[in-house]
Each structure stands twice: as structure tokens, then as C-alpha cells.
Structure 1
Amino acid sequence: MGGETSNTQHLEVDSGEQEDNASAYSDNSSYRTPVPPSILDYKYENGRRYHAFREGSYLMPNDEREQERLDLVHQIYKAIVHGALYRAPLPPNPRRVLDIGTGTGIWAIDFYYLLSADEHPNSDVLGTDLSLIQPTVVPPNCRFIIDDVRSPWAFEDKFDYVHSRCMLGAIGDWDALASEIFDNLTDGGWVELQEIESRFRSDDDSIQHAPNTRLWNEKFNEAGRLFGQRVDIAPRQRGFLEKAGFVDIREEIYKIPVGSWPKDRRLKDLGRAMFIHMVEGLEAVSLAFFNRVLGWSREEIDKLISGVVNELRSSKNHLYFNFYFTYGRKPPGGRAHPQI
């Protein structure tokens, strides 16, 4: 099994005029069967709304603010790979595609609208999630269901491609999930896991001048471990796929800045988008992890988030995240794997 790592170069800082990062602010078909009313009995905490199905098993909100953030994340992921929706070398006509943890369903819908007409005209796309937040009018080959990906899978037919994105903190047993994906793929089918690393980094040691950010790194990862659904899984996903039996595994790593400090124009634009994402997203990803798991008060959480945002605003702090695109193929004749 070969491996590739790309775009891991040092990010060059713009030595010209410094910009304050804060300036980045300046019908076709029914898609689901009826669901029990309890699914919509959302839970509210700290001013945010959370899912009701399998309540408490996922610690990020599902309200309108979060949906806007997820759609921004989708645009960031696409921009990283120049507008692509996936990196795996899919066959010309994948008949069945599964998007686990689909969120707002934007990836699944884009797969149909942007690709199906030319590349995959016969693809059927299924998105699963704990929350009922997807559109009610969708393409004819796209549908969504409420499902917990951690439960045993019971799909009638296998898939040619399984896609997952931003599932950090949502899965307790990644080995079991990788095994389920393997068993539910057709021979030669592909899986792709797209994840962001769970900590800020810097190449010039400026992270050492951001004490709030370093504390957030430490406590966010600690909360994931204590909750039993780790958030530091991006660098480990290659191992999950190898253990499950996938071959031709590739791992692409992209350094994406937070803020407009890079010299490169494209990375500067991505950095602005990431800054906006982090200003909005820090609360979303921190509230339940820090409050429910670590026992922090809302005041303590808000104070830490404010400190992190102030450090991100500083053009002296050249912070970034690693984004991982990890994909592999099920070999012909691959045998079903027992749950690990």
C-alpha cells in the first residue's frame, strides 16, 4: 500500500502591509419518509440547539448558526482542492454513494448538481445524519435519512463510494466504523475521510505567543478523550483504513492558515474564510465539550474563546490547521470483516 502526502510546505508570511484579520467580516422529490415527532424535539442548552435523536451522543449544535457554519466549511474544503468534492479516483459511474454525517446535505446535493450531469448521471446519493436539517426539496437521485452511523449498518445494497467529513468528536470506535464501511462497499469501491486536525499549529513558533489558543488545544483534545469520542483523529485515519483491509491508501495533507497573514494570495483568501469560520465555530465546538465534559461555566468558556479570537486577530500569530483527505479502495474479493 502506497502513500502520498502533499501541500505540507512551509507557509510564507506576507511581509507587506499587515491586515487585521477582523477585516474579513467587512423541486423535484420528497426526500424522507415521515419521522416520529420526537426527532424534532430538539434540546436547548447555553443558547444553542442540539439534536434529539440519540440525545447527547454528538456534542455540536444543529441550529441555523451551525448550519451556516457547516456550509462555510463545505466551501473551504472545496477551495482547498480547487473546487473538487473528492480526491479518490472514482470510477466513471458510481451507482450508489453514501455521505455519512451529512449535516446540511450540501456535499450530497453538490455531488448531484455539479457532477452527475457530466460525470455520474446514474448516481444515487444517500446522506445520513442524527439531525433533520437537510432541505425538503432535493434532486431526484438524492435523499436523506435519520441514522446513527455508529449503530450496525443495515443497508440492502452496497455502495461504490462512501464519503465522510468533519466527524471528529462524533465516533467512539473508528476501527468499527472503518470495518462497517469496508463491508458495505462493493469490490473496488472507495472510501474517503476528510478531516481537520484538532489543534492549531505554527511553523515559526508563534503558537507560543498564543497562550489561550494553546490552552484551548489542550482542553479540547482532553474533553474528546474523556467523552470517549476523540477529536484528534485526522492523522490516525490512515491507520483505521489499513486495519480494515483497504488498499491503495492515499493521505493528502494541506496547511490552511487562520487569518490573512500568508503571502500567497490564494492562501490569504482561504485564511480570511478560516478566520470567519473560527470566530463562529469556536463556540459551536467548545460549548458542550467544555461545559458537559470538563465542567466549565459559560463565563469561563466565553473568556477563553475571547482570548483565542484576539490571538487569531493578531497578524503576528501565523497559525494554521492541517486538513487531511484520506482515501482507500476495497480490493476485489475483499472479505467481510467482523466488528472490531
Structure 2
Amino acid sequence: MEQLKLGTIAYAHVMAQTLSILHGKAGVDVTRGISVWLIDFNLCSTFEDNPAGFKKIVDAFFWNDPYFPDPTSDMDGNKKLWAAFKERYLEYPGFQKRARGKSGASGRTDSSAAMSFVHRLPEDHSTDHIHIGHSYTYQADVSQDGQAGARDVDSADGSDPDDSGYGESLTSVATRLSAHLPTHEYRHGRRYHGLQAGAYNFPNDELEQARLDMLHYVFTTLIGDKLHLAPIAPDAAVLDIGTGTGTWPIAFGDANPAASVVGVDLSPIQPMWVPANVRFVVDDVEIDWADDMYDFIHCRYMAAGIRDWPGLVRKMYRHLKPGGWLELSESENVVYSSSADGVRQPLSPRHPLRRLMDGLSEACERIGRPFDPAPSFRSWCETVGFVDIQEREFPLPVGYWPQHPRSRELGSLMVVNFSEGVEAFTAALFADVLGWKVDEVRRLNEEVRDVVDGEGDDQLMFRYFVVTARKPL
């Protein structure tokens, strides 16, 4: 019981209520909600003072105690209960409902407005997961004779700093994650990675981690509740590029215990308790790689994070074993309005979402990090010699307009993505790169929130691409 997290229970219940309103049926698979909407319990300090209250909440949720109202009941009538519950148990800003009092023809009220949340993978202490220290590689000082100057850093867990399994580049030194290393920087009220500062212009704090974990669910659901589409053997050696919070490699490692999985990212934000076959490396994938070879390389949601995409694809080709597979996944960063007859058209240049995406594209062009690589994935793979290339396209809705329950669920989560993520999108790129004033950025952010959470006629959507390609034998 102690390993259950109050945030898990509370957020799953709120999501069940919200989804029941959006879908018109009870709960929409509450069990899946519990497994997906995981809040980092470390933020809920009040649990330590009230374990009895926590147990009551757990019992009520799982055993249908009348302490909690039924998820299908009128949420407006439960506002007082939820206000008291949040005040007592969830005293942190990440779990605050965005309620702007909107309503429309569908009958949606502020109770179904997009919610802010903080969720992460649980620190699973079961026998299947082990505690690890993260391997940390960083650019070493290079002397005039071309030799990399190694810096001694104590291991965070007492282990050998050379046992990462990821290997050293000519200009990198593998060490263990240490408090002495500058891993973060702070600006615009958000936290950013410190390694290779400026290489990735989006935050890595708790709110952003929550958004990334949510998008993992969106993307895997979108492609058919799958982690990947490439045909991968269960004992494959796997590399996940841009691993973020580590959600994907942990899920892959759990599902494939015979595989070995490495996740690499610029930010040390991954859990410390992971499957025994998973490890994480903090490094920049655009520097030279070691000699390791892989059966499968997975790269997802890395737009605006890579300077030289063709060069990265060449690296991935070189480090795949003959017959190995590459999978690239990304949305085309153009928002369309889809009419009832299925005709897609780009948004008007005055539309807030169009202005957001155009501004992000301009800022990324200025810093030399392409914002829309997805349409070029196939041609880059063809150029370097991949075969059996398949490009699959999936419609990704934004809003409550889809009729199919699963699509409507994804659309509602994309509302949350923009409502709660727009600040992360614009904070650095619009202010630092485009030179916008703070009030201009805030005004655009609010316009984006209003339009994605509104009741307009626009049926907003993206195109999401998954490209799989095989290295010849």
C-alpha cells in the first residue's frame, strides 16, 4: 500500500471524471487512467502527515466507498469536495485545474477545461527494477596536442565511472552523474538543461516532464497502443535518442526483458529505479559516437533539438548492425483545419496557433535547428542507403471535436499539451531569439489557450509521421 501514490489515485479519478464528460460514458477505462496518469508522489509532502487519510482515499477509489462521488455524477456538485481534497492533499501548483468558465453548445463547462498536472513514472521499487546511477558524458577540455583532458568527478553511487556501456567519444569523458556538474540553468522562471546549453531550447522541469510523459501516451496510443512499428527481436540492442524522462526505454525494457536498452538525452531527468536491462546516458548525440552497434535505434519528438539531421541519420546508419532498424517519429509542425468532408487546409496566418507555429519555425531557423524535419525523414533515409523504408501518417487531432472516443481522448490531451505547454514553447525562443517583449509573449500564449480550449468551428489537427527503415544485410 505504501508504494501507491496519492497523486496517482487522485489524478486518475479526475481524468476519469473529465473523460466521462468528454466521452459521455463512465470513466472511459479507469484502469488505464490509473496506469497512465502517474504523479510524482514526492511533490505531495502532506501524505507523510496523514497516512490514514491516504488509505481512506485509496480504499474509496478502489472499493467504491461513498467517500468519493461516482465519476459519472455531476462534477459541478462535487466542486467543494474536490477543492477541499486538493487543498488538503495536493498542495502544489502543478495540480491546479484551468477553469476559465467557458461553455458551449456541447454542454461542456469549466469543469472539463484542460487541467494542469504533474505526473511522472513511479519510482518502482519492485524486484523487477533496480537502482542505477546515470552515466554522464560531457565535452572535455582538449589540449593543444589534441588529447582530451579528463576531469575527475566522484561517482554518485561509488561505481566505476567507465562502466556506462555507452562508450567514450574522442572528446568525451564518461563519468557518473554528480552534484558537482552543472546540469541545469534557470531562466524565464523555468529550468533548462545545462549540458551544451542552448542545444535544446525547451525546459526540463517538472511541468515539462509531465507534458512529455503525456505525449508518450498520446504517441503510443496514436500508432495503435504500440511502442514501435519496426519489427524488432525481443533480445535486441536498442538505442533511444532524445529519451527525455525515460518513459519509452523503461516501457520497452519491461516488455522485452531479454533486450538491452540505452536512453540518451541532454538532461539527467530520468528515474533512478529502472528495469535491469535499461540504462541512461546524458550526452549530446550530435558529437562523435563510440563504436557501439545496435539492432534498433528509436528517435521520437526531436524537432528543434537537432542541428544536422542528415548527419544524425548517417550516424544512426553507421551504428546499426546489418539488418538493423531505424524508427523516426515526429509530427509535421503545420496545424490544419479539417472540415466535415475531410478537406484539410492550413490555418489563416492570423490564427493564434498558426502564429505560434510560424514563430517557432522562424526562431528555430535562426538558431539553425530545424523545426519541421518530419517531411524529410524518408528522403534522408534513402540518401544514406536504408532499404524497406515505410512512411506511415496518422491524423493527430487537437480539441474535443472528434466523434470516435479514442480520437476525442487524444484531442483533449492535445488541448492540455497546448494549454499547459505553450509557455514552454515560447519562453526562450520568442523572448531570447525573436526578441518579443514579455507582455507580447504572454498575450500570444493566452490566445493559443483560448483557441485550443474553445468551441469554434475549427477541427484542428496535425499529421504525425512514423518512418521505419532497415540497414541492408
**Is the aligned partner of 1:291 residue 2:431?**
yes
Map of 2:245 onto structure 1: 104
Map of 1:244 onto structure 2: 384
1:251/1:181 CA distance change after superposition, 3 Å: same
Structure 1 Cα separation of the partners of residues 399 and 107 of structure 2: 9
TM-score, structure 1 as length reference: 0.86
Whether contact under 8 Å (1:207, 1:318) holds in the other structure is no
| Residue among 18, 32, 51 paired with 2:106 | 18
Map of 1:214 onto structure 2: 354
Map of 1:28 onto structure 2: 130
**Is the aligned partner of 1:320 residue 2:461?**
yes
Whether contact under 8 Å (1:197, 1:321) holds in the other structure is yes
| Residue among 209, 224, 227 paired with 1:85 | 227
**Is the aligned partner of 1:201 residue 2:336?**
yes
Structure 1 Cα separation of the partners of residues 108 and 330 of structure 2: 28
What whole-Å deviation, never above 9, does each CA across 1:83-130 have from its counterpart, x for those lacking one?
A: 100011223531x100011000010000011x21xxxx3210000011
| Residue among 116, 123, 135 paired with 2:259 | 123
1:21/1:253 CA distance change after superposition, 3 Å: farther
1:161/1:19 CA distance change after superposition, 3 Å: farther
Whether contact under 8 Å (1:21, 1:313) holds in the other structure is no
Whether contact under 8 Å (1:209, 1:317) holds in the other structure is no
What whole-Å deviation, never above 9, does each CA across 1:243-295 have from its counterpart, x for those lacking one?
A: 12111111111111111111222211111111111111211122111112111
Q: Which amino acid aligns with 1:227?
A: I
1:32 CA drift (Å): 2.3
Map of 1:11 onto structure 2: none
Q: Which has the higher contact order (CA 8 A, sep 6+)?
A: 1
Map of 2:184 onto structure 1: 42
1:209 CA drift (Å): 9.0
Q: What secondary structure, in the 3-state scheme, does the structure 2 residue paired with 1:284 have?
A: helix
Map of 1:260 onto structure 2: 400
1:242/1:58 CA distance change after superposition, 3 Å: same
1:173/1:294 CA distance change after superposition, 3 Å: same
Count of residues in correspondence between the two structures: 311
The 10-residue stretch of structure 1 (168-177 or 206-215) with the greater mean CA deviation from structure 2: 206-215
**Is the aligned partner of 1:170 residue 2:258?**
no
Q: What secondary structure, in the 3-state scheme, does the structure 1 residue paired with 2:243 have?
A: coil
Structure 1 segments unaligned to the other structure (5+ residues): 1-13, 333-340
Whether contact under 8 Å (1:259, 1:275) holds in the other structure is yes
Percent identity over the alignment? 37
Whether contact under 8 Å (1:20, 1:313) holds in the other structure is no
Map of 1:139 onto structure 2: 275
TM-score, structure 2 as length reference: 0.63
What whole-Å deviation, never above 9, does each CA across 1:52-100 have from its counterpart, x for those lacking one?
A: 1111111010001111110000000111022100011223531x10001
1:137 CA drift (Å): 1.3
Q: What secondary structure, in the 3-state scheme, does the structure 2 residue paired with 1:198 have?
A: strand
1:38/1:292 CA distance change after superposition, 3 Å: farther
1:20 CA drift (Å): 4.7
**Is the aligned partner of 1:280 residue 2:415?**
no
Whether contact under 8 Å (2:183, 2:268) holds in the other structure is no
Structure 2 Cα separation of the partners of residues 138 and 226 of structure 1: 38
1:134/1:18 CA distance change after superposition, 3 Å: same
Alignment RMSD, CA only?
Answer: 2.1
Whether contact under 8 Å (1:46, 1:298) holds in the other structure is no
Whether contact under 8 Å (1:249, 1:329) holds in the other structure is yes
1:40 CA drift (Å): 4.2
Whether contact under 8 Å (2:239, 2:262) holds in the other structure is yes
Q: What secondary structure, in the 3-state scheme, does the structure 2 residue paired with 1:192 have?
A: strand
Q: Which amino acid aligns with 2:353?
A: T
Q: What secondary structure, in the 3-state scheme, does the structure 1 residue paired with 2:369 have?
A: coil
Q: Which amino acid aligns with 1:331?
A: P
**Is the aligned partner of 1:329 residue 2:470?**
yes
What whole-Å deviation, never above 9, does each CA across 1:4-36 have from its counterpart, x for those lacking one?
A: xxxxxxxxxx9x963659625374131424235
Which structure has the larger Rg?
2
Q: Which amino acid aligns with 1:322?
A: R
